[in-house]
Structures are given as C-alpha cells and as structure tokens.
Amino acid sequence: MMQKNKKQIDVIGKVLQALYEHDTDSLFVMSLMHQYEERGSLSKKQLEGLCAKARKVESLPAGWIGTIEAITLKMPTRYKSAPEKNTPVFQKNEEATELITAILQSYPQHKRVLFLQAKNDNHEPFAATELDELRKFYQLLLKKKA
C-alpha cells in the first residue's frame, strides 16, 4: 500500500467505504476498493465509474462527489490513435511492367528481360540500374524497328 500524506483527507477511500456499506454485494465497489488498497490510486475511467455510482446514493455528501469529479477532471485523458493502414511493402513498378510487356511481345525469348519479368512477378524491387537497363533495351530493340 502506498504511503499517503497524513494531512490530506482520503475522500476516495471514504466514498468507497460509504458505497460498500450502502451495498455490500457490489462487486464493482469491492473491486475498486481492492485496487485502491493495492495501488493507492484509481484510473480516470474507474473514478468516473465510482462517481456515477456515488451519484445514485443520496446519503453521500455532495462535497465528496464534487471532490472526486475534480480529481477526475485534473487527470489526463488518454486517446487511442487510429490503427495504421497496412500498405504493401512492394508497389509494382508500372513503367517496368509496360517495358517488359512491350519487349517480350517482340522478343519473347530475351533472357535478361525474362529474368527481370520473373523478378517483377515475385514482387522484388528493381535496382535503379535494372530499370535503366530495361529502358535501354526498349530504346535499342523497339525504337530501332520503327
């Protein structure tokens, strides 16, 4: 159990005790009491739940409920960030696909272009030199024909 400053009044402990005495079968209150005794504090969500439960009991002093609300307001609110969208690691290179298709239509047995096509089909990224090589093949083989 955490050591508290003796000069402070433990309002949370008093509210928990009063709620427990009001309804001894409440598992929620017993759970909060246990956690408060173990850790010495409650989370913001737990305090909000405690405050909602305390508002239903008319015999509790309004000052205690106000104090718990004030403690809750001082606590930081944690937001969950939106999950990131999964993007594929490899984006198929459209230019390379077009060049490969054009070259293989005229020269279907070109071994280097067939190798690059296999690499492209396996979603392996092209090195800059390989893309330059494809462009040169296209210039030499297909532009010369025209």
Q: Are residues 69 and 117 in the same domain?
A: no
> Is it the case that residue 1 has pLDDT exceeding 50?
no
- Comparison of pLDDT for 9 and 116, the residue scoring more: 116
- The model's pTM: 0.50
Check residue 123 and report its DSSP letter.
T
For 136, the token pair is 């040169």
Q: What whole-number percentage of the chain has pLDDT above 70?
A: 90
Mean pLDDT of 26-54: 90
Q: Which domain holds residue 121?
A: 94-143
Domain for residue 17, yes or no? Answer: yes
Q: Are residues 29 and 57 in the same domain?
A: yes
**8 A C-beta contact, residue 30 and residue 21:** no
126 backbone dihedrals φ, ψ, rounded to 5°: -85, 140
Q: Are residues 70 and 107 in the same domain?
A: no
The four Cα atoms 122, 123, 126, 131 give a dihedral, to 10 degrees, of 80
Candidate from 27-36, 79-88, 133-142 with smallest mean pLDDT: 79-88
User: Measured between alpha carbons, how far apart are the two ends of the chain, in Å?
Assistant: 87
How many domains are there within the chain? 2
